[in-house]
Amino acid sequence: MIRRTSQDIRRLNRFEVLRRVYAGPGAMSRQDVAAATGLSFATVANLTAELLEAGVLVEAGHEESGGGRPRARLAVNAERGALIGVDIAETSVHAELFDLALTVRHSVERPLPPGDVRPSDVVDALAGAVGELLAASGTDRARVLGAGVSVPGMVEREGGVSSFSPYWSWHEVPLRALLDERLGLPLWLDNPLRASTVAEMWCGAGREVDDLVVLTLRAGVGAGIAIGGQLYRGFTNSAGEWGHTCLALDGRPCTCGNRGCVEAYVSLRGIAETWRELAPGDARATGPDDAVTVAALARAADAGDPAAAAAIDRIGRYLGAPVATLVNLVNPQVVVVGNQVVDLLGERLLPVAYEAVGRHALALPHRAATLCRSTVPHNPVTLGAATFALEGFLDDREVFGPVSRMRKAAKGGAGAGG
């Protein structure tokens, strides 16, 4: 039922080549790319020619040669266009403008009203943020190649519909339709898990690797899965919902209505809750903002507070078991953990968690998997959202046609077009 054509090969190879150039430490030659991808040199030359023609890559000088023709250095043409990545979170909308090299150029954050946010609130905040972004950076809207938007919960990607939100009582909200005319930009919707994963694939530990799991730990938690170098979406684009894995039968109540979910233990809220359990009288553990509480926990632990240390120890064990589940089930090459929880607690939490993973996972998949912290700078969700836009642009048949078209263009000149 899955249609496989040779053009898919082309498309994947195009992605692969470009990803290597992004990955490269700034000086990637065609030779390097060929070696790294395993493609023949001719193919790499083909693909880079196409990417050069499209303006996505540029040749930036030459490497030094020890005799013989020097290799041309390939680089991403950051100025080819702009990308926008938007992270819709529980309390705010965060929008960032990237250049084509995926470096942040401008950043805007707009708060959302507290409580049950309506779709129109989000649309207003988002459109406002994007407008501000463009104005502040002096970017012409026409130069923006696309905008990626991350919406929490379940997203029907093709239709651009948010079919379920964990925070607000949204059902089947047609976000794309609502945003389309307000933005006037090619739009790509998905959720934070998949955005973070794609960010890792282009800019993080996923660059070198085919089978990858990316853990997103913030207000909600979940996993993104990449298999064979491609994001795995599942049958209805909801694969990777790891947050509601049962960690403890009849355990803590979770926002999903169930008990004992992973999310109830290792989300920001779950972490705060564990601290409260272990430090009943501690006022620092009782604030309304979980992120603040977790930051306080980190400080308390650093200051040698024994209850805080005990809490982190326990949280690490809570985290280790379900990570081991992932390792056993997916058998990935790399597991990346990232986002707020890790930013706040990483130093202390991860060693404990890693050790717990070792106890729970089977030897073979455990040995095979490298666990690491995300090295993606800044907010992986906005970056990933922008990457969706980048991928969308790379799929544009107007820009990247079949090879024969190129050959014809090269031969026939500007002749009988149409």
Partner DNA sequence: GATCTTATTCGAAGGGTTGGAAGAAGAGCG
Partner DNA sequence: CGCTCTTCTTCCAACCCTTCGAATAAGATC
Q: Is 77 in the site for DNA (CB under 7 A)?
A: no
Segment lying near DNA (by CB under 7 A), choices 6-14, 169-177, 266-274, 375-383 = 6-14
Per CB under 8 A, the list member of 178, 315, 321, 353 interacting with a copy of itself is 321
Tokens at 9, concatenated:
């090969």
146 binds a copy of itself (CB under 8 A): no
Q: Does 268 bind a copy of itself (CB under 8 A)?
A: no
Q: Which two tokens stand for residue 68?
A: 């013989």
Q: Is 416 exposed, middle or buried (0-12, 13-18, 19+ CB in 10 A)?
A: exposed
The rounded distance, in Å, linking the Cα atoms of 342 and 204 is 15
CB of 403 to DNA, least distance (A): 3
Q: Which of 340, 343, 347 is nearest to 309 (CA)?
A: 347
Work out whether 318 is an interface residue with a copy of itself (CB under 8 A).
yes
Q: Alpha carbon of 367 to those of 196, 304, 327, 329, 332: distances in Å?
A: 24, 33, 10, 14, 10
Is 245 near a copy of itself (CB under 8 A)? yes
DSSP 8-state symbol, 206: G
Q: With binding defined as CB under 7 A, does residue 31 bind DNA? A: yes
Nearest to DNA of 18, 178 (CB atom): 18
**Coil/strand/helix, residue 239:** coil
User: Looking at the chain, how many residues does it have?
Assistant: 418
Beta strands in 361-414 (DSSP E): 370-373
Closer residue to DNA in complex, CB, 280/415: 415
* Site track 45-84 with a copy of itself (rule: CB under 8 A), x = hit: ----------------------------------------
Number of residues that bind DNA (CB under 7 A): 35
Nearest to 325 by CA among 247, 228, 263, 253: 247
Q: List the interface residues with a copy of itself, window 325-364 (CB under 8 A).
A: 325-326, 328-333, 359-364
Closest CA to 194 of 238, 256, 227, 147: 238
- Residue 244 binds which entry of DNA, a copy of itself, none, with Cβ cut-offs from 5 to 8 Å by kind? a copy of itself
Tell me how far apart the alpha carbons of residues 382 and 377 are, in angstroms, rounded to a whole number: 11
Tell the smallest beta-carbon distance from residue 157 to DNA (Å): 24
Distance CA 142, CA 140 (A): 5
For 257-321, give the secondary structure using H, E and C.
Answer: CCECECHHHHCHHHHHHHHHHHCCCCHHHHCCCHHHHHHHHHHHHHCCCHHHHHHHHHHHHHHHH
Q: How far is CA 326 from the centre of its chain?
A: 18
Q: How many other C-beta atoms are found inside a 10 Å radius of the C-beta of residue 181?
A: 8
Cα–Cα distance for residue pair 193/385, rounded to 1 Å: 10
Select the residue interacting with DNA from 67, 228, 281, 304 (CB under 7 A). 67
Q: Which does 43 bind (CB under 5 to 8 A by kind): a copy of itself, DNA, none?
A: DNA
Given DNA, a copy of itself, none, residue 256, with its beta carbon under 5 to 8 Å by kind, binds a copy of itself
Residue 7 binds to a copy of itself (criterion: CB under 8 A): no
Task: Name which of 201, 235, 217 is nearest 384 in CA terms.
Answer: 201
Q: Are 122 and 112 in contact (CB under 8 A)?
A: yes
Q: How far is the CB of 4 from a copy of itself (least distance, A)?
A: 5
Rounded CA gap, 203 and 374, in Å? 10
- 189 near a copy of itself (CB under 8 A): no
Contact with a copy of itself (CB under 8 A) among 150, 216, 238, 339: 238
204 binds a copy of itself (CB under 8 A): no
Instruction: Report the nearest approach of DNA to the CB of residue 416 (Å).
Output: 14
Name the binder of 414 from DNA, a copy of itself, none, CB < 5-8 A by kind.
none
Q: Does 240 sit near a copy of itself (CB under 8 A)? A: yes
272 binds, among a copy of itself, DNA, none (CB under 5 to 8 A by kind): none
Binding at 78: pick from a copy of itself, DNA, none (beta carbon under 5-8 Å per type): none
CB 266 within 8 A of CB 341: yes
Q: Considering only residues 27, 52, 53, 232, which one is a binding residue for a copy of itself as defined by CB under 8 A?
A: 232
Q: Which residues bind DNA (CB under 7 A)?
A: 3, 5-7, 9-10, 13, 29-31, 39-43, 45-49, 62, 64-72, 402-405, 410
Q: Which residues bind a copy of itself (CB under 8 A)?
A: 1-6, 9, 12-13, 36-39, 154, 163-164, 210-211, 223, 225, 227-229, 232-242, 244-249, 251, 256, 258, 317-318, 321-322, 324-326, 328-333, 359-365, 367-369
